[in-house]
Chain A
Amino acid sequence: MNRVFLVGDNIDTDQLAPGQYMRGGIEELARHSLEAVRPDFASSVRPGDVLVGGENFGIGSSREQAAEALRHLGVACVIAQSFAGIFYRNAINLGLPVLVGKDLSHVEDGDPCRFDIDAGELALTAKNTTLRLEPLPENLKQMLSDGGLVPHLKKRFAAKRKDEARQ
């Protein structure tokens, strides 16, 4: 059973990927993700869990380890009322779904949940409530379904080479 981890507004990239653990690689960095605001997060989050934030999730640095750490921990998606632009782009590029949900007032920490990216929904299973999330633009949906920017580009380059070979 997957659960919601609830955090507040203005979660910043230094909280997601603290600079002092930057040298240790993603493994170590992920162990310290969010420890300044939620010391229990990294040790208790399990693959498939969902992180729900408030306004302006991911403000700050361009360090993509902020998104990479969450992906490394197996977070299925981040849902927030709004995202900081660079974090949002980084997350999609790394294949971590990020979705905007305008009304998250019913979400409580620890809520059992099921996330469906195709439907763009978060089901709070114990509450019989389903939250509709804002749909992603087509280009980003494609990027996520390819697994992120690198696999997406590989696909594109492979198609181009095939085209050139054919001519």
Chain B
Amino acid sequence: MAATLAQKIIARASRRVSVRPGEIVTAGIDLAMIHDSGGPRRVEPILKDLGVGLFDAGKVVLISDHFVPGDTDEGARILELTRAWAKERKVAFHDGQGICHVVLPEKGHLKPGMFVVGGDSHSPTGGAFGTYMFGIGATEMAGVLATGEIWLRVPETILIEWQNRLGTGVVAKDMMLALCGRLGMGGGKYEAVEYTGEAVRALSMQERMTMSNMAAELGAQAGLIAPDRTTADWLAAHNGDAGDWQSLFTDPDAAVLEHHVFDAATLEPQVAAPHSPANAMAAKDAPATAIDVAYIGACTGAKYDDLAAAAAILRGQKLAAGVEMMVAPSSRDDQKRAEDEGLMKVFEDIGARILPNACGICAGYGTDRLGEDVTCISSTARNFQGRMGANSSKVWLGSPLTVAASAIEGRVADPRHHLPSEARA
């Protein structure tokens, strides 16, 4: 029977030959990812209350990122508790290595076809690897850790096809902001979104991760991309294993709920005005908006590919007067590579403050926050009111290139005027 990629993975996880959209099934968990914020401090009291241990410590990965670097008393206490729990429960633990969504695949934990839950809304990132992965809250995670299973309604699939190739200066973040604008934050309907088409196949794995991650901003449960040679090669280079990925695709005759087609070649750099990613528009059409802060950070905006793109624009340039720039590389490995290639020096030379490999301002949990009435342009995924600081602060979203160009101009800017000459040619 013809099936979508999502249905194939869910059928296997729920030990069924096939599943139909709308059915409620119970699926076995291949992996559960938790972080310092929603993890040990919230799940352990529930496990104690239930009087049970972990269903399988070998299938749990803990990553500290939300309260890193522990610059408040509370944050430091939470990190201590997180470390102690990792030791006691004997789970894989990556401490201060970077943001969970980036570190999880980077350390080889994900494999195409797996059924995975994460204690964070941006968990659909795993979909970039052909993994069915979605975010859940802490109480539900405690239930997963106790039982090794979870219920779900088998989703319909919404196919999003990007034909042709992206133009110069246009990246995955622009595709996602455009989708948020076109489909809205409920456009994913808590179904499985699957990205296809030439432009998607041409993306690097880190760019694909940005697409899958922001399936959360579309309100989808999962954001899948069928695994291919690019996936297999990337995993092989990151201590991973793509396994038997060849059968993991949506059958051509499988029924889907919606099929949207977009032209990547005509897409222009996008920005989203405060306070919703759905307030998307072409950067060139944005109203004149002076910015105070330019932020390169988060799981969707400070991976190696993002840092490289931003640095190419910033090299040899100066920040506009009065603009503060901050860069929080998504992972230690990505920062190391950027250092080796001289990219971090570009950020230092321009006067950017380098923040730890963690969620940083995006989560709004530490001492670095946006003050009253500050206008920020940010490479993060989400610009809800008050998320990154004061309720009166305003966050514009853009690609890392757009943030870099805006930092130079001192206002929301189109990055295409700032591309290095070799990229423009």
Q: Which chain A residues have a beta carbon within 8 Å of chain B's beta carbons?
A: 10, 12-15, 18-20, 22-23, 36, 55-56, 59-64, 67, 82, 84-86, 88-90, 93-94, 137, 139, 148-150, 153-154, 157
Contact = CB atoms under 8 A, between A and B. Distances in A.
Contacts of A157: 50-52
B231 interface: no
B386 A60 contact: no
Contact of A14 (B46, B219, B386): B386
A150 B49 CA distance: 8
Interface of B: 24, 37-38, 46, 49-52, 72, 74, 119-121, 123, 134-140, 142-143, 146-147, 151, 153, 184-186, 189-190, 219, 221, 276, 363-365, 369, 382, 384-387, 389, 391
Nearest to A56: B186
Given A59-B219, A85-B190, A36 B385 contact: yes
Contacts of A59: 185-186, 219
Contacts, number: 109
Chain A CB within 10 Å — which of B119, B121, B385, B389 has the most?
B121
Given A20-B369, A59-B219, A63-B37, 20 more contacts: A12-B384, A13-B384, A15-B386, A23-B74, A36-B385, A56-B184, A56-B186, A61-B121, A62-B38, A63-B38, A63-B137, A82-B189, A86-B135, A93-B137, A93-B139, A137-B153, A150-B143, A153-B143, A154-B49, A157-B52
Nearest to A21: B386
Nearest to B385: A36
Given A19-B365, A63-B137, A14 B186 contact: no
B365 A22 contact: yes
Given A19-B365, A139-B151, A153-B146, A62 B136 contact: yes
A93 B151 contact: no
A104 B221 CA distance: 26
A10 B217 CA distance: 12
A89 B137 contact: yes
Contacts of B151: 139
Nearest to B220: A85
19 contacts: A20-B364, A20-B369, A23-B72, A23-B74, A36-B386, A56-B186, A60-B382, A62-B120, A64-B139, A84-B190, A84-B219, A85-B219, A85-B221, A86-B121, A86-B134, A88-B190, A90-B137, A94-B139, A139-B151
